Amino acid sequence: MRLPLIKHIHEFIQNNDQDYVLEAIELIEFIAESSNVKDEELDVLGEMLSNMEGALEVRKLIQEEGLSEKEALNAFMKRVVGSIEK
């Protein structure tokens, strides 16, 4: 996961609609199911999915908890780092 990409995707959600990202996630997951996708390509698809899901989670923190974008990004990354360290 890369914070700059999550922030950039979140900007897209703010300017458009999160439904676009949800549909993109569905498409990427469908592509990843193909037996014709190479391992290296799966890694890239997985990284993109992680960043998109992260942006959706940041959006959720902003909407449901009233956090600023910066606070939501920091809270999300702390949670991710905390889960990796366990």
At position 47, the amino acid (one-letter code) is E
Angle at which helices 69-85 and 3-15 cross, to 10°: 140
Q: The pTM is what?
A: 0.89
Largest distance between two CA atoms of the chain: 43
Give me the number of domains the chain comprises: 1
> Tell me: the pLDDT tens digits for 54-67?
999 999 999 999 99
> Tell me: the pLDDT tens digits for 6-56?
999 999 999 999 999 999 999 999 999 999 999 999 999 999 999 999 999
Full domain range(s) for residue 74: 3-85
